[in-house]
Chain A
Amino acid sequence: MRGAIPLLVALFTGIAIAQTPAGPDLDARLKRLETELRCLVCQNQTLADSNAPLAEDLRKEVRALAVSGKSDAEIKQYLVARYGDFVLYQPPLQSNTWLLWIGPFALLAGGAAIWYAIVRRRKRGGDDDDEPPSSGPSPDEAVARARQIIYEEP
């Protein structure tokens, strides 16, 4: 019985030593990596979130690669070579994705340009459909008229 305690201690420290390459650092790294990778079976889940058998296999694969000393970039490259760019949650900036990356900014710039053009034209007092007609009742008169119609004031 007395021999059991050192044995237990040896057992636990042994486990701890055996797990050093797979310690909390690696776990944190894998966790982060897995959230950047897509599960192809359930496409709107990351590898970390998915319970699909393939996701399990890929997590194992990613862990094995990480333990063998591969960098994050190498691990991603390994998966991209097999499953395509779609496994990456953040699409890479390359020729077939530039529209995806630039598009929203281009739309924003276009919208700003149109807005600027309209504002400038209004300031200049140029012909604009949205401009109130210069002739006709003044705002005060219009309000009075509206009041008359709504409340049927005489």
Chain B
Amino acid sequence: MKTWRLILPLAVFVILLGFLWVGLSLDPREVPSPLIGKPAPSFTLATLHEPSKTLTGEDMKGQVWLLNVWASWCVSCRAEHPLLMQLARSNIVPVVGLDYKDKPDEGRAWLKENGDPYRVSIVDRDGRVGIDFGVYGVPETFVVDKQGVIRYKQIGPVTAEALEKKILPLVRDLQKS
């Protein structure tokens, strides 16, 4: 009876500590997307380099691809940019750039200055497609499978760790299926 009384508060404390410890490693800024496992929202947007041409989600069907949401005004996009350039050179997976709420000429100038890692760039001038994709913090990166289903969302800049441990293994998996 006595030992039980001593141990119970300790047990409660340890459980609480466990919760707090896990809580420390969670990022409240990362809100899980409800779109994972769902078909990517359809879109038809003008391309950045040839505004008379458009790209739709249908055009990308049949292959695994990444959608990278970026903007020339986005500071942390610069952090992930070298990784995207590296990814583009490796030719593993095509990356579509979604220039989000940006002036097209500023977007073009930014790519000219920093290099263009995108197979195609499309312009979401008013952010409507961004809303459909649930974008709330640029940069964001989506992995879309051959059937056009969103499989993964990276919120914030792509890191070397996220690329090696999550994105690329997933892409290879999806490409095999």
Contact = CB atoms under 8 A, between A and B. Distances in A.
A81 B134 CA distance: 8
A61 B131 CA distance: 9
Given A53-B101, A57-B127, A84 B134 contact: yes
Q: DSSP majority for the A interface?
A: helix
Contacts, number: 36
A40 B126 CA distance: 18
B23 interface: no
Interface string B132-164: 111011000000000000000000000000000
Nearest to B38: A81
Nearest to A61: B131
Contacts of A85: 34
B28 A82 contact: no
A83 B137 contact: no
A83 B29 contact: no
Contacts of B35: 82
Which 9 A-B pairs give the minimum distances between C-beta atoms? A40-B136, A82-B134, A84-B34, A86-B31, A83-B134, A57-B127, A54-B136, A84-B31, A41-B136
27 contacts: A40-B136, A40-B137, A41-B136, A41-B137, A43-B28, A43-B29, A53-B101, A54-B136, A57-B126, A57-B127, A57-B131, A58-B131, A80-B34, A81-B34, A82-B35, A82-B132, A82-B133, A83-B33, A83-B34, A83-B134, A83-B136, A84-B31, A84-B32, A84-B33, A84-B134, A85-B34, A86-B31
Interface of A: 40-41, 43, 53-54, 57-58, 61, 80-86
Interface of B: 28-29, 31-35, 101, 126-127, 131-134, 136-137
